[in-house]
Every structure is written in C-alpha cells, then in structure tokens.
C-alpha cells in the first residue's frame, strides 16, 4: 500500500498528482500532514508543495476539462469533506488519463459523486446569499455573521460586492474565523482575534448598533410573522427550506416568536 | 419611521399574504454606479414563512381599503378588519432599509381599489417611479396591475416594474360574476393585453434603436384560486396552457382556497384548504412547462380532474401502458422525461452518460432516479421486477399507492416492558 502525505492545501494536492505521475506510483491512501498513518504500508511519499508543478497540473486540467468541470473540482475542494482530497485525486487522474473528458460520465462513481458534492456546495453558497442578515452598526457598517457548512463564503463575495456596492459591509464566517470587509472600493479578507469577534457575535450590545436598527429588526420580525398563513402551517417544509442551523443568526428567528 | 408603522406593516402584510406570487426571477441587472442594488436572474428566496412559502419580496399592500366586495377576498369592503394605509415615505424607507440588510430582493406592491381603478393604479405607479427615479432603487419590483386600469397607466408602470401581474382568480366568467359582481373577464384580460403589447413593441424598438429602456423585463404572471368554485382542473389547466401560449406570460400560480369569509353562502364550506389539489395542479403546471406535456394529455373529458392519489405524470403513465417499458439506454430525451420517477436532472444525466457506456439500474439509483416508481416503467434486464406490461396498470397503481398505516391488531399479544 502506498501512502502519500501532502500539506493539506489545494496546491499540495495538485503537486501530489504531479509527483504520482512522475514516480508512476499512485497512492492508495492520500493524507494531509499530521493525520494518523495507517499501521502497515509499503511506501511513504511526502509531497513537497511546488507551485510551478501545481500550475502545470492545473493547466493540463484546463486543456482536458470544461469550465463547468473545473468549477466542480474547485467546489469539491471547498466542501472540505474528509473524502474530498482522495476523490479529487481520482477525478483528476481520470481526466488526465482519458482521451475525452470524463466529466459527463455519470455512470462512473467518482464523477457522479463529485457532481453531487459540487451541487451541494453550490446550494450552500446559495444559502449564504439567501440567509446573510446584515445589522447596521453605529458607524454605518452593515455586518453579518454566518456559519456555512462548507467553505463557500469566498465564492459568495462577488454577489455581495455587486449588490451592496454602495454600503460598507462585513461578513464573518464564525466557524472558520475569517471574513470579508468591503470599504466601498475593495473587498479585503479579515480575521479577528477571539475576544474581538465575541463583541459583535451573539446579541450585540445596543450601543454598537445604529439608532434605528432595533426598529427595523422588529419590523422585519412583525412582517415575517404576519405573512405566514396559519391555515397552511407546515413546519416540516419550513425547516427543510430554512435549515435550523441558520436560525442562530437570522433576524426573523430572534425575539418572541 | 416609528412604532406606529409596526401595526401598519402587520395589518397590510396580513392583507397581502393571500397573493401567492413571490418570484424574483426573470431579470438580471448588475449594480450601476449611483444606484442601490442589483437583480439576480435566477431569483433568490431570502426567507421562508412558517407555512413553508418563500419570502423573496416585501409583499405588502399600499392600502387594504377596497371598494369591491369580492366574496373570496379578505379585504372585501363588507369585512370588518383593521384597515391601514402606508405613507409613500414609509413604504420607500421600508423597502430600502430591508433591502440593505439583505432581507428581501425587492418590493411586491399591491393595493385595494380606492375610488376607481385608475386612481389606485396611478398611486402605485407614482410610488414605483419614486423608488426608481428619486431613490435609485435597482432591485426587483413586482407591481400588481389593478383590474380595469387604463392603458396609459399600465404602460407607464411597465417602465419601472420588472414584473406586472393581474390576477384572474376565478377560471370562468360565470363563476367570477357570481363571486365578484363588480369584476368581469374584460377588466382582467385588458391589462394583460396592454402588458403583452407593451413588451412586444418594446422588443421591436430594442431591435431598432440602441438605447431603449426595458419594459417589464420579467414578463407577467397571474393567479387562480382553486376550490372556491365548482370549476374542474380541466378548466384551470386549459386556461393556464392558453395563457402560457401567449408571449410574456411567465407563471400561473394556483392558490388553494382558504375560507377567509366563511359566512358567505356562495362559497363552499371547506374544512381545510385543498392543499393536495393545489399541489397536483402545480405538478401538472411543471409538466406543461418543463416536461413537454400538453394540458389535454393530463386532463380530458373522461378525467376532468387530476388524480389526488397519484401524481399527474404517474397517472398519465398508468393511462398509457402502451408507451412502456422504456429502454433508458436508447429512448429519446423526451421519452426519458415521461418515465415516472425520472426528473429533468436525472434525464439529462442519463442522456449524457449513456454516451460513455451502458447505464444500469444501480447507476440510475445513484443518479437520483426514484426507482420505487421507475422500475415498472423501464426496461432493465438486471432487475427481477415485472414491468407495467406484465403487471397491468391497476396492479402497478395498487403497488405505488401510499400504504395506509397499519393499526395494531387487537389479537396480537404484547409485553409491557
């Protein structure tokens, strides 16, 4: 059994592909650094991440795959699922080996699985766009917290950049501890220290919020309650469309129900 | 803006909620410098109410005072409900502030008819114009066109709104006359025609001139109430399919009748809103729009109503056993779409992947085909299941009906742990 250990980055993964083709030895197990090695193995290859090599693999993929399929590769990586790196390795290998792009061969387990994961990641990105709720701070910045299941905030930034181009905003991924801040010119990646992040998570103190922020929250909550038709109440559908994991930061789900 | 608006929002949202439409799709507009917001062509639902319906737009009425007395409507003038009117500044501020907080995609503005249709329509148009021109609102606006409004006002509204809609409510004119004596089909279809003509003229102009503002880029929609009159599904679907055949009609919504005015003897007494029937109508609507079905295939003289127990596609398949079983490795895409249990996504996947090799039943299952249904309708050598040809439609139907919950047999002895 051959074990490849890489540094856990996307570049590292692409370098591992290069290394495998160079050695003509393909891994049975692909592991990030620091993970527990299996008890028995024949060969251990530690991949050094090399950006030129990674670039070459990516360029080869660009030749083989369509833009949509490259998007699938990136989405699967964003999913951060434990199975993702090995799945991507096999997917890339199939793409490199095949004479024509395998991206539409949904009879193949890996291709189908990658497409399915990509669809779920795209849905999560959509949910971020749907369920981000800005609160207006006293200094006029609109800020929002969210905890998406997959690492999709970066791909959703283009939407917020376009839509809210004339207001200052900050969106923070509380699970991965980073966010994006827009200063009317550019979007910057930001990260807060633990204690700073605390001061605006949860129930922000009234002093930090703009004067009319509470009123608009109340208005939205009132609207949310009155727009639903009691005779048609359907809690199951409600929870399916508006997953409970987002409720924590949803304005309409705060306050008295 | 103050606390008094809270009560107004409550009253006016309560009045607006029976309008089903909430789509924000159909227009793509990037942000423009100096304006606020953008429009996403695929539509975004920002929240979901506790009845499971999406909240995409701020669906609200300008006022719920109304001079009409339509039996099916909560806002009829003889109803004793709290009434309110929003000031223009309040409505504009609500929209803008909600929008900036990513609560909504835009505004869905409707109104009760005050004084006369033109007076009401003019007020609506003025607000939308204000939003677009003064406040530079670039988000989505859905405007209700008041039945009986004049051509000029509809034309003006179309310059600012993304979508206009006029509700038919009742699918045939006699029933409409009975329930809403002040309305007729003419007052509903005339604004629809104005919108259609406006869009077609605009398309023509855009071909010839360089800078022409768009007219109702997201087309129009309408709504029909289901279960308030004796109309069959055939009446409803045939009317819907006739509407879809005309250009610019993007969506027909079906609204299961909720007895809001139970005291009115012209209305049927319902225990619950006909939600299953409404669901079947939406399924049929989808079949017409995405699966290439005709209304006459789904409902005809023999079956004027959709089957409530099985979905319309399965019902069609059971009525046409001669079309099955289908070989998924050979059949046309159109035929794949007609297999119960195969949707648009899986049909596309099948059509794409069979070019690489044979598609087997395991792969179908993984692609998301509902095999429980599909097995009786596909030709699959590896499955030990008899198809509809051997089993006959009656038996397949029996097998696919939801099983009634088994009650405990009193003869069965049980231990009390």
Domain ranges of chain A: 2-124, 132-253
Asked if B78 reaches chain A (Cβ–Cβ under 8 Å), the answer is: no
Indicate yes or no: CB of A108 within 8 angstroms of CB of B356: yes
First to last CA, chain B: 62
Q: Is the domain of B287 the same as that of B255? A: yes
Q: To probe the interface with A, which of B15, B21, B48 has the most A CB atoms within 10 Å? A: B48
Mutation target for B interface from A163, A164, A168: give the one with most B CBs within 10 A.
A163
Looking from the CA of B265 toward its CB, the CA atoms found within 13 Å total 0
Residue B417, domain member (yes or no): no
Q: Please report the residues numbered 172 through 191 in chain A whose beta carbons come closer than 8 angstroms to any beta carbon of chain B.
A: none
Query: In degrees to the nearest 10, what's the CA dihedral of B274, B276, B278, B281?
Result: -140
Looking at residue A209, the DSSP 8-state letter turns out to be B
CA A19, distance to chain mean position in Å, is: 27
B12 and B89 share one domain: yes
Nearest Cα to A17, choosing from A100, A91, A67? A91
**Chain B CA closest to residue A247:** B47
Q: Is B45 on the interface with A (CB under 8 A)?
A: yes
H helices of B230-337, where? 233-245, 275-290, 295-298, 312-319, 333-337
Euclidean distance between the first and the last CA atom of chain A, given in angstroms as a whole number: 57
| Structure tokens given for B317 | 């398949």
According to DSSP, the residues that pair with B106 across neighbouring strands are: B57, B140
B411 found inside a domain: no
Q: How many Cβ pairs within 8 Å bridge chains A and B? A: 160
- The parent domain of residue B242 ranges over 3-298
Q: What local confidence, expressed as pLDDT, does residue B172 receive?
A: 87
Q: Which tokens in the block code for residue A46?
A: 């530690």
Cα torsion at A121, A123, A125, A130 (round to 10°)? Answer: -160
**Is residue A207 scored above 80 in pLDDT?**
no
* Strands across the sheet containing A135-136: A135-136, A142-146, A169-173, A178-182, A187-190
Answer whether residue B307 is part of any domain: no
Q: Is A97 in the B-facing interface, judged by CB distances under 8 Å?
A: no
Assigned domain for B132 exists: yes
| Span A161-171, average pLDDT | 93
Domain count for chain B, please give it.
2
Supply A43's token pair.
Answer: 């060969």
Answer whether B145's CB lies under 8 Å from B118's CB.
Answer: no
Residue B56 lies in a domain: yes
Q: Of A148, A98, A146, A100, whose CA–CA distance to A122 is shortest?
A: A148
Same domain for B253 and B345, yes or no, is: no
- Residues of A in Cβ contact (< 8 Å) with B359: 107
Chain B neighbors of A132, CB-CB under 8 A:
102
Q: Do B87 and B214 fall within a single domain?
A: yes
Query: Does residue A207 contact residue A138 with C-beta atoms inside 8 Å?
Result: yes
Q: Shortest Cα distance from B121 to chain A (angstroms)?
A: 23
- A56 has pLDDT over 90: yes
CB atoms within 10 A of CB A111: 24
Q: Are residues B229 and B116 in the same domain?
A: yes
Q: List the single best residue of A110, A215, A229 to mutate versus B (max B Cβ within 10 A).
A: A229
As a whole number, mean pLDDT of residues A61-70 equals 93
More reliable by pLDDT, B86 or A196? B86
Low-confidence ranges of chain B (pLDDT < 70): 417
CB within 8 Å of chain B, chain A residues 100-139 = 102, 104-109, 112, 126, 129-136
> Which pLDDT does position B66 carry in this prediction?
93
Please give the DSSP secondary-structure letter assigned to residue B170: S
CB contact under 8 A, B101 and A251: yes
Q: Note the pLDDT of residue B273.
A: 87
Dihedral angle, C-alpha A190, A191, A197, A201, nearest 10 °: 60
Distance CA A154, CA A115 (A): 20
The verdict on B104 and B142 lying in the same domain is: yes
* B195 within some domain: yes
* pLDDT at residue A204 is higher than 70: no
According to the model, what pLDDT value does residue A65 have? 93
Q: How far is it, in rounded angstroms, from Cα B59 to Cα B82?
A: 18
* Run of H or E including A155: helix A153-163
Residues 346-385 of B with CB under 8 A from A: 349-350, 352-360, 363, 366-367
Q: What does each C-alpha distance from B132 to B21, B36, B110 come to in angstroms?
A: 22, 9, 17
For chain A, give the percent of residues with pLDDT over 90: 73
Contact B179, B229 (CB under 8 A): yes
pLDDT band at A197 (very low <50, low <70, confident <90, very high): low
Q: How many CA atoms lie within 13 A of A34 on its CB side?
A: 2
Residue B61 sits in the same domain as residue B179: yes
> In this model, does residue A201 exceed pLDDT 60?
no
Residue A256's pLDDT is 62
Rounded CA separation A173/A180 (Å): 9
Residue partners of B210: CB distance under 8 A and separation at least 6: none
Same domain, B271 and B340: no
Q: Give pLDDT, residue B294.
A: 93
Structural domain contains residue B415: no
More confident residue, B194 or A194: B194
**Can you give the pLDDT at residue B139?**
93
Q: How confident is the model at residue A255 (pLDDT cuts 50, 70, 90)?
A: confident
Instruction: Residue B41: give its domain's CATH number.
Output: 3.20.20.70
């Amino acid at each position: 059994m051959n074990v490849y250990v890489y540094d856990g980055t996307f570049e590292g993964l692409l370098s591992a592909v290069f290394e495998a083709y160079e050695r003509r030895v393909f891994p049975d197990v692909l592991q990030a650094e620091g993970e527990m090695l299996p008890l028995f193995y024949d060969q251990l290859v530690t991949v050094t991440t090399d950006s030129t090599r990674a670039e070459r693999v990516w360029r080869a993929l660009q030749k083989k795959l369509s833009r949509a399929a490259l998007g699938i590769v990136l989405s699967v990586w964003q999913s951060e699922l434990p199975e993702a790196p090995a799945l991507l390795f096999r997917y890339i290998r199939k793409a490199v080996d095949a004479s024509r792009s395998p991206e539409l061969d949904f009879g193949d387990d890996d291709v189908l699985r990658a497409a399915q994961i990509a669809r779920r990641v795209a849905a999560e990105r959509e949910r971020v766009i749907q369920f981000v709720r800005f609160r207006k701070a006293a200094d006029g910045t609109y800020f929002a917290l969210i905890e998406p299941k997959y690492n999709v905030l970066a791909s959703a930034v283009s939407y917020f950049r376009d839509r809210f181009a004339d207001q200052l905003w900050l969106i923070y991924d509380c699970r991965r501890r980073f966010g994006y801040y827009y200063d009317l010119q550019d979007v910057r990646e930001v990260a807060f220290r633990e204690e700073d992040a605390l001061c605006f998570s949860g129930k922000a103190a009234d002093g930090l919020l703009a004067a009319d922020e509470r009123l608009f929250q109340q208005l939205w909550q009132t609207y949310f309650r009155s727009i639903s038709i009691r005779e048609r109440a359907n809690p199951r559908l409600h929870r399916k469309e508006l997953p409970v994991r987002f409720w924590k930061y949803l304005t309409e789900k705060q306050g008295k129900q | 803006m103050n606390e008094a608006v809270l009560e107004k929002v409550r009253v006016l949202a309560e009045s607006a909620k029976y309008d089903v439409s909430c789509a924000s799709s159909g227009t793509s507009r990037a942000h423009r410098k100096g304006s606020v917001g953008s429009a996403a062509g695929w539509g975004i639902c920002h929240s979901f109410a506790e009845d499971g319906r999406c909240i995409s737009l701020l669906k609200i009425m300008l006022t719920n005072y109304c001079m009409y007395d339509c039996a099916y409507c909560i806002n009829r003038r003889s109803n004793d409900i709290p009434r309110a009117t929003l000031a223009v500044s309040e409505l504009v501020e609500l929209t803008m502030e909600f929008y900036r907080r990513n609560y909504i995609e835009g505004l869905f503005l409707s109104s009760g008819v005050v004084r006369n249709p033109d007076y009401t329509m003019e007020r609506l148009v003025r607000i939308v114009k204000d939003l677009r021109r003064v406040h530079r609102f670039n988000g989505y606006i859905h405007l209700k066109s008041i039945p009986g409004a004049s051509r000029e006002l509809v034309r003006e509204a179309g310059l600012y709104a993304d979508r206009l809609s006029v509700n038919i409510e009742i699918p045939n004119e006699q029933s409409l006359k009975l329930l809403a004596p002040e309305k007729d089909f003419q007052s509903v279809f005339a604004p629809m025609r104005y919108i259609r003509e406006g869009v077609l003229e605009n398309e023509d102009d855009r071909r010839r001139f360089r800078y022409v503002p768009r007219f109702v880029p997201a087309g129009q929609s309408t709504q029909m109430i289901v279960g308030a009159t004796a109309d069959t599904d055939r009446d409803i679907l045939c009317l819907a399919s006739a509407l879809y055949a005309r250009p610019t009609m993007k969506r027909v919504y079906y609204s299961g009748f909720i007895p809001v005015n139970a005291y009115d003897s012209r209305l049927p007494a319902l225990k619950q809103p006909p939600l299953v029937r409404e669901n079947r109508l939406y399924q049929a609507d989808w079949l017409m729009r995405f699966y290439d079905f005709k209304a006459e295939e789904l409902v005809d003289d023999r079956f004027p109503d959709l089957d409530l127990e099985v979905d319309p596609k399965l019902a069609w398949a059971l009525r046409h056993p001669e079309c099955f079983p289908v070989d998924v490795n050979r059949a046309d895409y159109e035929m794949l779409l007609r297999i119960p249990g195969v949707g648009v996504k899986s049909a596309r996947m099948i059509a794409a992947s069979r070019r690489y090799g044979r598609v087997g039943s395991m792969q179908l299952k993984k692609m998301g085909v509902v095999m429980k249904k599909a097995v009786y309708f596909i030709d699959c050598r590896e499955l030990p299941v008899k198809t509809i040809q051997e089993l006959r439609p009656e038996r397949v139907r029996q097998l696919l009906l939801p099983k009634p919950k088994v009650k405990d047999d009193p003869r069965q002895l049980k231990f009390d742990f």
